[in-house]
Amino acid sequence: MNKMSNKVLWQYDETFQAGADYADVQRAMAYDEHMQKIRDYKKRAEEIKEMLLLNSNDILIDFGCGTGSITMELAKNCRKVFCIDTSPVMLEIASNKACSEEVFNITFFNYGFLTYNHKGELADKIMTGGAFHHLPDFWKVIALQRIHGMLKEDGLFLLSDVVFSFDPKDYITEINSFHEFLKVKSGEELYNDGLLHLKEEFSTFDWLMDEMLRRTGFDIDSKVVRTKTNIDYVCKKIKR
């Protein structure tokens, strides 16, 4: 596994654990159990394959791959996959899954959006799911610039995350509804994670995210508002 290296002193520290600490071994081990209460991994992998038009010749980069449950499915439809995550514990779980499932076209990197430096052939597709909100807005823009530079011309980028599409004046009602959904659907632990998300992490409004994507060289091919707190963007790299 390739490890995170030193960075400039003023750069945002992506290893800082805002919100739920998935560098903690017990939390990381329980991640799949909790997430499968609100997400069907196989179904989600099929959706991503369709959104990204994945084919067997594709090079895919997955930022924030976590335990790799979705990535394992996607790798079966790709030539090569690069899995990036700031948690060495999560990457170890993902690496063990790849070995047990005999998926050998994945390379794991203990880096983040701001520290991973892609080498060799540019990616055909890049994705991130549920990780981009760990960056403040300034650093989201820097990360998008870096992602743009890792993609082939006309390559596709999937950004799936907690992004708010409700009117800001309705924030109390909408956020309470978001937390109530987590409590009913997944139980106390993910509910508490949701509380931390709003207190400590950096999800933003869609009208800000739309503009960040455009200003960093992406055309938004599709924008699927799954809920008022979750959006899938499929974007194409354009020449800047």
pLDDT digits (tens, 9 = 90+) for 156-165: 999 999 999 9
Residue 184 lies in a domain: no
Task: Please compute the mean of the pLDDT values over residues 80-93 and round it to a whole number.
Answer: 93
- Name the average pLDDT for the chain: 88
Residue 33: strand pairing partners: none
Measured distance CA(196)–CA(190) in Å, rounded: 10
CATH number for the domain spanning 157: value is 3.40.50.150
172 found inside a domain: no
Q: Which of 31-45, 83-97, 209-223 has the highest mean pLDDT?
A: 209-223
Domain that includes residue 210, residue range: 25-167+203-237
Report if residue 54 sits inside a domain: yes
Q: What's residue 178's pLDDT?
A: 86
Is 216 inside any structural domain?
A: yes
pLDDT confidence band for 15 (50 / 70 / 90): confident
- Residue 224 has φ and ψ, to the nearest 5°, of -105, 110
Res 220 pLDDT > 70: yes
Residue 11 lies in a domain: no
Is the residue at 75 inside a domain?
A: yes
pLDDT class of 7 with cuts at 50, 70, 90: low
Answer yes or no: is 14 within a domain. no
Instruction: Identify the pLDDT of residue 239.
Output: 81
Looking at the structure of the chain, the number of domains it has is 1
> Is residue 177 situated within a structural domain?
no
